[in-house]
A and B are shown apart, each in its own frame.
Chain A
Amino acid sequence: MKWLSLLLLVTLTACSGTRALQASKNVPYATLEQTVQLGASKEQVRTALGDSTAIRFDSGNEVWMYTYPTQSGAQGEFVILFGEDGMVKQVRSGEVYQAGK
Protein backbone atom coordinates (compact mmCIF):
# COMPACT_ATOMS: atom_id res chain seq x y z
CA MET A 1 0.00 0.00 0.00
CA LYS A 2 2.80 2.40 0.91
CA TRP A 3 4.56 2.04 -2.43
CA LEU A 4 1.32 2.61 -4.27
CA SER A 5 0.60 5.75 -2.27
CA LEU A 6 4.11 6.99 -2.89
CA LEU A 7 3.78 6.31 -6.60
CA LEU A 8 0.50 8.20 -6.70
CA LEU A 9 1.88 11.17 -4.85
CA VAL A 10 5.04 11.33 -6.96
CA THR A 11 2.99 11.14 -10.13
CA LEU A 12 0.68 13.81 -8.81
CA THR A 13 3.57 16.08 -8.10
CA ALA A 14 4.84 15.56 -11.61
CA CYS A 15 1.43 16.25 -13.10
CA SER A 16 0.24 18.94 -10.74
CA GLY A 17 -2.14 21.31 -12.42
CA THR A 18 -4.74 20.23 -14.90
CA ARG A 19 -5.06 21.46 -18.45
CA ALA A 20 -4.98 25.22 -18.58
CA LEU A 21 -7.52 27.10 -20.66
CA GLN A 22 -6.29 28.39 -23.97
CA ALA A 23 -4.90 31.83 -23.26
CA SER A 24 -7.40 34.59 -23.82
CA LYS A 25 -6.72 37.09 -26.56
CA ASN A 26 -6.41 40.75 -25.63
CA VAL A 27 -8.46 42.97 -27.95
CA PRO A 28 -9.37 46.67 -27.65
CA TYR A 29 -12.87 47.10 -26.25
CA ALA A 30 -14.05 49.20 -29.18
CA THR A 31 -13.18 46.38 -31.58
CA LEU A 32 -15.02 43.83 -29.44
CA GLU A 33 -18.10 46.00 -29.16
CA GLN A 34 -18.15 46.71 -32.89
CA THR A 35 -17.58 43.09 -33.94
CA VAL A 36 -19.71 41.09 -31.57
CA GLN A 37 -23.37 41.74 -32.27
CA LEU A 38 -26.31 39.60 -31.21
CA GLY A 39 -26.97 37.11 -33.98
CA ALA A 40 -23.40 37.13 -35.33
CA SER A 41 -21.97 33.71 -36.12
CA LYS A 42 -18.95 32.00 -34.58
CA GLU A 43 -17.16 32.18 -37.91
CA GLN A 44 -17.77 35.92 -38.15
CA VAL A 45 -16.39 36.47 -34.66
CA ARG A 46 -13.42 34.14 -35.19
CA THR A 47 -12.52 35.76 -38.50
CA ALA A 48 -12.63 39.24 -37.01
CA LEU A 49 -11.02 38.57 -33.62
CA GLY A 50 -9.17 35.26 -33.80
CA ASP A 51 -9.37 32.34 -31.38
CA SER A 52 -9.47 32.88 -27.62
CA THR A 53 -10.48 31.09 -24.44
CA ALA A 54 -13.51 28.89 -25.19
CA ILE A 55 -15.59 26.13 -23.59
CA ARG A 56 -18.14 23.99 -25.40
CA PHE A 57 -20.87 22.27 -23.39
CA ASP A 58 -22.85 19.11 -24.08
CA SER A 59 -25.93 21.29 -24.59
CA GLY A 60 -24.33 22.73 -27.71
CA ASN A 61 -23.87 26.12 -26.09
CA GLU A 62 -20.40 27.60 -26.29
CA VAL A 63 -18.79 30.41 -24.29
CA TRP A 64 -15.82 32.43 -25.53
CA MET A 65 -13.86 35.01 -23.54
CA TYR A 66 -11.60 37.84 -24.73
CA THR A 67 -9.81 40.30 -22.51
CA TYR A 68 -9.40 44.03 -23.02
CA PRO A 69 -7.44 46.77 -21.29
CA THR A 70 -9.66 49.04 -19.19
CA GLN A 71 -9.20 52.74 -18.51
CA SER A 72 -8.17 52.00 -14.95
CA GLY A 73 -5.34 49.81 -16.20
CA ALA A 74 -7.00 46.60 -15.08
CA GLN A 75 -8.01 43.87 -17.47
CA GLY A 76 -11.65 43.48 -18.43
CA GLU A 77 -13.36 40.34 -19.65
CA PHE A 78 -15.63 40.24 -22.70
CA VAL A 79 -17.68 37.04 -22.63
CA ILE A 80 -19.79 35.75 -25.50
CA LEU A 81 -22.46 33.04 -25.35
CA PHE A 82 -23.14 31.20 -28.59
CA GLY A 83 -26.36 29.18 -28.69
CA GLU A 84 -26.81 25.74 -30.21
CA ASP A 85 -27.30 27.42 -33.59
CA GLY A 86 -23.81 28.92 -33.40
CA MET A 87 -25.07 32.50 -33.15
CA VAL A 88 -24.30 35.09 -30.45
CA LYS A 89 -27.02 34.86 -27.83
CA GLN A 90 -25.67 36.97 -24.97
CA VAL A 91 -22.68 39.20 -24.27
CA ARG A 92 -21.32 40.62 -21.04
CA SER A 93 -18.24 42.64 -20.21
CA GLY A 94 -16.55 44.48 -17.38
CA GLU A 95 -13.79 44.40 -14.81
CA VAL A 96 -13.78 41.23 -12.77
CA TYR A 97 -13.00 40.09 -9.26
CA GLN A 98 -9.31 39.46 -8.89
CA ALA A 99 -9.13 35.96 -7.59
CA GLY A 100 -6.14 34.27 -6.12
CA LYS A 101 -7.17 31.15 -8.01
Chain B
Amino acid sequence: MRALLSLLFGSLLHSTIALAQTAPTQQVQQVKVDATRDPVDKSYRKMMLGVERFERDHALAPQASLRFRLLPRQPGVDMRGVQLRIAGDTVSVPLPLAADNSFAPVRNQQALREDAVLIANRKATTMSWRAQVITPGLPPDTRRLGDLRLECRAGMDSGLISNDPQIIAWLSSMLYSTDKVCNQPDGNYLFFADRPLFGVTLVHGERRLALPFKMLYAGGEQTPASLPYCDCQVLLDRSYYAPLWDASWPDDSLLELHYMDEVAP
Protein backbone atom coordinates (compact mmCIF):
# COMPACT_ATOMS: atom_id res chain seq x y z
CA MET B 1 0.00 0.00 0.00
CA ARG B 2 2.79 2.37 0.91
CA ALA B 3 4.55 1.58 -2.34
CA LEU B 4 1.30 2.16 -4.18
CA LEU B 5 0.94 5.51 -2.51
CA SER B 6 4.38 6.51 -3.68
CA LEU B 7 3.82 5.05 -7.13
CA LEU B 8 0.62 7.00 -7.52
CA PHE B 9 2.22 10.21 -6.42
CA GLY B 10 5.28 9.53 -8.50
CA SER B 11 3.13 9.31 -11.57
CA LEU B 12 1.58 12.67 -10.75
CA LEU B 13 4.82 14.44 -9.99
CA HIS B 14 7.96 13.34 -11.69
CA SER B 15 10.25 15.51 -9.66
CA THR B 16 11.07 14.76 -6.09
CA ILE B 17 10.35 17.48 -3.57
CA ALA B 18 13.57 17.97 -1.67
CA LEU B 19 13.45 19.16 1.88
CA ALA B 20 14.76 22.68 2.23
CA GLN B 21 18.10 22.93 3.94
CA THR B 22 19.61 26.17 5.15
CA ALA B 23 23.33 26.49 4.63
CA PRO B 24 25.39 26.74 7.80
CA THR B 25 26.27 30.33 8.66
CA GLN B 26 28.65 29.66 11.50
CA GLN B 27 30.57 26.47 11.91
CA VAL B 28 31.24 25.16 15.37
CA GLN B 29 33.01 22.09 14.08
CA GLN B 30 34.04 21.56 10.50
CA VAL B 31 33.55 18.25 8.81
CA LYS B 32 34.36 17.64 5.18
CA VAL B 33 31.69 15.65 3.40
CA ASP B 34 31.88 15.38 -0.37
CA ALA B 35 29.28 17.69 -1.88
CA THR B 36 26.25 15.85 -3.21
CA ARG B 37 23.32 17.47 -4.94
CA ASP B 38 19.94 16.43 -3.53
CA PRO B 39 21.56 14.36 -0.77
CA VAL B 40 19.96 11.83 1.53
CA ASP B 41 18.69 13.73 4.55
CA LYS B 42 16.54 12.97 7.56
CA SER B 43 15.18 15.01 10.44
CA TYR B 44 17.40 14.87 13.51
CA ARG B 45 14.43 15.67 15.76
CA LYS B 46 12.54 12.72 14.29
CA MET B 47 15.50 10.46 14.82
CA MET B 48 15.64 11.51 18.46
CA LEU B 49 11.95 10.66 18.82
CA GLY B 50 13.00 7.15 17.84
CA VAL B 51 15.69 7.23 20.51
CA GLU B 52 13.08 8.28 23.08
CA ARG B 53 10.81 5.44 21.97
CA PHE B 54 13.70 3.01 22.35
CA GLU B 55 14.34 4.22 25.89
CA ARG B 56 10.64 4.05 26.75
CA ASP B 57 10.16 0.51 25.43
CA HIS B 58 13.60 -0.83 26.32
CA ALA B 59 12.00 -3.70 28.26
CA LEU B 60 11.37 -5.40 24.92
CA ALA B 61 15.13 -5.84 24.54
CA PRO B 62 16.74 -4.94 27.86
CA GLN B 63 20.27 -6.03 26.91
CA ALA B 64 20.33 -4.29 23.54
CA SER B 65 21.47 -0.86 22.48
CA LEU B 66 20.10 1.23 19.64
CA ARG B 67 21.88 1.94 16.40
CA PHE B 68 20.69 3.09 13.00
CA ARG B 69 21.84 1.50 9.79
CA LEU B 70 22.07 2.75 6.23
CA LEU B 71 21.04 0.28 3.54
CA PRO B 72 21.21 0.39 -0.25
CA ARG B 73 17.94 1.34 -1.87
CA GLN B 74 18.80 1.70 -5.55
CA PRO B 75 20.78 -0.60 -7.83
CA GLY B 76 24.44 0.27 -8.14
CA VAL B 77 24.71 2.56 -5.13
CA ASP B 78 28.20 2.35 -3.64
CA MET B 79 27.86 1.78 0.09
CA ARG B 80 31.60 2.13 0.68
CA GLY B 81 32.90 5.40 2.02
CA VAL B 82 29.53 6.78 3.08
CA GLN B 83 29.91 9.84 5.30
CA LEU B 84 27.18 11.08 7.58
CA ARG B 85 26.80 14.16 9.74
CA ILE B 86 24.24 16.12 11.71
CA ALA B 87 23.91 19.50 10.03
CA GLY B 88 22.12 22.55 11.43
CA ASP B 89 22.44 26.28 10.92
CA THR B 90 25.59 26.44 13.04
CA VAL B 91 26.21 22.89 14.13
CA SER B 92 27.91 20.09 12.23
CA VAL B 93 28.59 16.80 13.98
CA PRO B 94 30.15 13.82 12.21
CA LEU B 95 28.59 10.43 12.83
CA PRO B 96 31.19 7.71 12.34
CA LEU B 97 29.85 4.66 10.55
CA ALA B 98 30.78 1.09 11.44
CA ALA B 99 31.74 -1.42 8.75
CA ASP B 100 28.06 -2.38 8.35
CA ASN B 101 27.16 1.31 7.82
CA SER B 102 25.47 1.55 11.21
CA PHE B 103 25.93 4.38 13.68
CA ALA B 104 25.08 5.17 17.27
CA PRO B 105 22.75 8.14 17.73
CA VAL B 106 24.17 11.06 19.67
CA ARG B 107 22.21 13.67 21.60
CA ASN B 108 23.01 17.28 20.74
CA GLN B 109 20.80 19.98 22.19
CA GLN B 110 21.96 22.61 19.72
CA ALA B 111 21.11 20.37 16.79
CA LEU B 112 17.65 19.84 18.28
CA ARG B 113 17.13 23.59 18.66
CA GLU B 114 18.24 24.21 15.10
CA ASP B 115 16.02 21.45 13.71
CA ALA B 116 19.09 19.90 12.12
CA VAL B 117 19.10 17.11 9.56
CA LEU B 118 21.19 14.01 9.16
CA ILE B 119 22.87 14.38 5.84
CA ALA B 120 24.87 11.81 3.86
CA ASN B 121 27.13 12.11 0.86
CA ARG B 122 24.77 10.10 -1.29
CA LYS B 123 21.84 11.22 -3.43
CA ALA B 124 18.33 11.10 -2.01
CA THR B 125 16.50 7.80 -2.56
CA THR B 126 19.76 5.89 -3.04
CA MET B 127 19.78 4.69 0.56
CA SER B 128 17.26 3.54 3.10
CA TRP B 129 17.50 3.54 6.88
CA ARG B 130 16.52 1.17 9.63
CA ALA B 131 16.76 1.17 13.40
CA GLN B 132 18.98 -1.66 14.58
CA VAL B 133 18.40 -3.37 17.93
CA ILE B 134 20.48 -6.49 18.55
CA THR B 135 20.71 -8.32 21.87
CA PRO B 136 24.33 -9.46 22.31
CA GLY B 137 25.16 -13.15 22.53
CA LEU B 138 22.42 -14.57 20.31
CA PRO B 139 23.18 -17.72 18.27
CA PRO B 140 24.53 -16.98 14.77
CA ASP B 141 21.96 -16.25 12.06
CA THR B 142 19.14 -15.53 14.48
CA ARG B 143 17.13 -12.46 15.38
CA ARG B 144 15.21 -12.02 18.63
CA LEU B 145 11.55 -11.12 18.28
CA GLY B 146 11.65 -8.51 21.07
CA ASP B 147 14.55 -6.82 19.28
CA LEU B 148 12.51 -6.66 16.09
CA ARG B 149 9.48 -5.29 17.94
CA LEU B 150 11.64 -2.51 19.33
CA GLU B 151 13.29 -1.89 15.94
CA CYS B 152 9.87 -1.35 14.43
CA ARG B 153 8.76 1.13 17.09
CA ALA B 154 12.01 3.10 17.15
CA GLY B 155 12.28 3.01 13.37
CA MET B 156 8.73 4.21 12.80
CA ASP B 157 9.00 7.00 15.37
CA SER B 158 12.27 8.04 13.73
CA GLY B 159 10.58 8.49 10.38
CA LEU B 160 13.52 6.80 8.72
CA ILE B 161 11.66 4.31 6.63
CA SER B 162 11.74 5.97 3.28
CA ASN B 163 12.65 9.05 1.34
CA ASP B 164 9.12 9.97 0.38
CA PRO B 165 8.24 13.49 -0.68
CA GLN B 166 6.64 15.54 2.08
CA ILE B 167 3.06 15.04 0.91
CA ILE B 168 3.57 11.29 0.86
CA ALA B 169 5.09 11.43 4.33
CA TRP B 170 2.07 13.42 5.47
CA LEU B 171 -0.43 10.99 3.95
CA SER B 172 1.56 8.06 5.28
CA SER B 173 1.49 9.46 8.79
CA MET B 174 -2.30 9.64 8.54
CA LEU B 175 -2.54 6.06 7.36
CA TYR B 176 0.31 4.41 9.24
CA SER B 177 0.87 5.15 12.92
CA THR B 178 3.66 3.37 14.77
CA ASP B 179 1.13 1.38 16.78
CA LYS B 180 -0.72 0.32 13.65
CA VAL B 181 2.40 -0.70 11.77
CA CYS B 182 4.08 -2.47 14.68
CA ASN B 183 1.08 -4.06 16.39
CA GLN B 184 -1.21 -5.25 13.60
CA PRO B 185 -0.89 -8.19 11.20
CA ASP B 186 -1.15 -5.91 8.18
CA GLY B 187 1.49 -3.55 9.56
CA ASN B 188 3.95 -4.38 6.78
CA TYR B 189 7.17 -3.35 8.52
CA LEU B 190 9.94 -4.98 6.51
CA PHE B 191 13.12 -6.41 7.98
CA PHE B 192 16.24 -7.24 6.00
CA ALA B 193 18.71 -10.08 6.45
CA ASP B 194 22.36 -9.69 5.51
CA ARG B 195 22.13 -12.30 2.73
CA PRO B 196 19.38 -13.61 0.43
CA LEU B 197 16.88 -15.65 2.44
CA PHE B 198 15.46 -19.04 1.66
CA GLY B 199 13.42 -19.39 4.84
CA VAL B 200 12.81 -18.11 8.34
CA THR B 201 11.84 -20.35 11.26
CA LEU B 202 10.16 -19.01 14.36
CA VAL B 203 11.40 -20.79 17.50
CA HIS B 204 10.43 -20.67 21.15
CA GLY B 205 11.26 -23.63 23.36
CA GLU B 206 9.86 -26.69 21.61
CA ARG B 207 7.72 -24.67 19.22
CA ARG B 208 9.12 -24.35 15.72
CA LEU B 209 7.23 -23.01 12.70
CA ALA B 210 8.46 -21.69 9.40
CA LEU B 211 7.18 -18.31 8.35
CA PRO B 212 4.83 -18.66 5.37
CA PHE B 213 5.94 -17.69 1.89
CA LYS B 214 3.80 -14.56 2.05
CA MET B 215 5.92 -13.26 4.94
CA LEU B 216 9.07 -13.42 2.82
CA TYR B 217 10.17 -11.31 -0.14
CA ALA B 218 7.94 -8.34 0.82
CA GLY B 219 4.94 -10.63 0.57
CA GLY B 220 5.61 -11.25 -3.11
CA GLU B 221 3.46 -8.24 -3.92
CA GLN B 222 6.01 -6.11 -5.72
CA THR B 223 5.76 -5.59 -9.44
CA PRO B 224 8.47 -4.12 -11.66
CA ALA B 225 6.43 -0.89 -11.61
CA SER B 226 6.04 -0.70 -7.83
CA LEU B 227 9.45 -1.99 -6.80
CA PRO B 228 11.29 1.35 -7.24
CA TYR B 229 8.95 2.80 -4.61
CA CYS B 230 9.72 0.08 -2.06
CA ASP B 231 12.83 0.46 0.06
CA CYS B 232 13.24 -3.26 -0.57
CA GLN B 233 14.10 -2.46 -4.19
CA VAL B 234 17.52 -4.08 -4.14
CA LEU B 235 16.95 -6.13 -0.99
CA LEU B 236 13.83 -8.01 -2.03
CA ASP B 237 15.41 -11.44 -1.60
CA ARG B 238 16.56 -10.46 1.92
CA SER B 239 13.25 -9.09 3.14
CA TYR B 240 10.83 -10.65 5.60
CA TYR B 241 8.00 -9.76 7.94
CA ALA B 242 8.02 -10.85 11.58
CA PRO B 243 4.91 -11.59 13.67
CA LEU B 244 5.40 -8.52 15.85
CA TRP B 245 1.72 -8.42 16.74
CA ASP B 246 1.42 -12.01 17.95
CA ALA B 247 1.60 -12.05 21.76
CA SER B 248 1.61 -15.85 21.80
CA TRP B 249 5.26 -15.59 20.69
CA PRO B 250 7.15 -13.87 23.52
CA ASP B 251 9.99 -11.41 23.11
CA ASP B 252 12.57 -14.13 23.68
CA SER B 253 11.40 -16.05 20.61
CA LEU B 254 14.06 -16.38 17.94
CA LEU B 255 13.85 -16.18 14.20
CA GLU B 256 16.33 -18.54 12.58
CA LEU B 257 17.45 -17.27 9.20
CA HIS B 258 18.21 -19.79 6.45
CA TYR B 259 20.03 -18.50 3.41
CA MET B 260 19.98 -19.23 -0.27
CA ASP B 261 23.73 -19.77 -0.32
CA GLU B 262 23.64 -22.57 2.25
CA VAL B 263 24.56 -26.01 0.96
CA ALA B 264 21.57 -28.34 0.86
CA PRO B 265 21.84 -31.17 3.43
Contacts and interface: CB of A to CB of B under 8 A. Distances in A.
Interface of A: 1, 4-5, 8-9, 11-12, 15-21, 24, 38, 53, 55, 57-59, 61, 63, 65, 77, 79, 81, 89-92, 94-101
B196 A57 contact: yes
A98 B215 CA distance: 10
Contact of A81 (B4, B198, B226): B198
A18 B8 CA distance: 12
Contacts of B196: 57, 59, 61
Interface stretch (B85-93, B95-103, B256-264): B256-264
A58 B74 CA distance: 13
B28 interface: no
Contact of B219 (A4, A81, A94, A101): A101
Given A18-B223, A61-B196, A97-B202, A77 B260 contact: no
22 contacts: A8-B8, A17-B1, A18-B3, A19-B226, A21-B213, A55-B236, A57-B237, A58-B75, A59-B196, A61-B237, A63-B198, A63-B217, A77-B213, A96-B209, A96-B210, A97-B209, A97-B215, A97-B243, A99-B211, A99-B214, A99-B215, A101-B241
Given A8-B8, A58-B234, A99-B185, A90 B260 contact: yes
B5 interface: yes
B65 interface: no
Contacts of A94: 210
A101 B260 contact: no
A18 B226 contact: yes
B199 A79 contact: yes
B171 interface: yes
A21 B237 contact: no
B220 interface: yes
Interface in B149-169: 167
B185 A101 contact: yes
A20 B221 contact: yes
Interface residues of B, number: 40
B211 A81 contact: no
Interface in B116-171: 167, 171
A99 B234 contact: no
A94 B201 CA distance: 11
A101 B171 contact: no
A19 B217 CA distance: 13
Interface in B48-70: none
A15 B4 contact: yes
B198 A92 contact: yes
B119 to A, nearest CB: 27
Interface in B172-201: 185-186, 196, 198-199
Given A12-B5, A89-B264, 4 more contacts: A5-B167, A97-B215, A99-B212, A99-B215
A63 B3 CA distance: 23
Given A59-B237, A63-B198, A99-B212, A12 B4 contact: yes
A92 B258 CA distance: 10
Interface in B204-246: 209-215, 217, 219-223, 226, 234, 236-237, 241, 243, 245
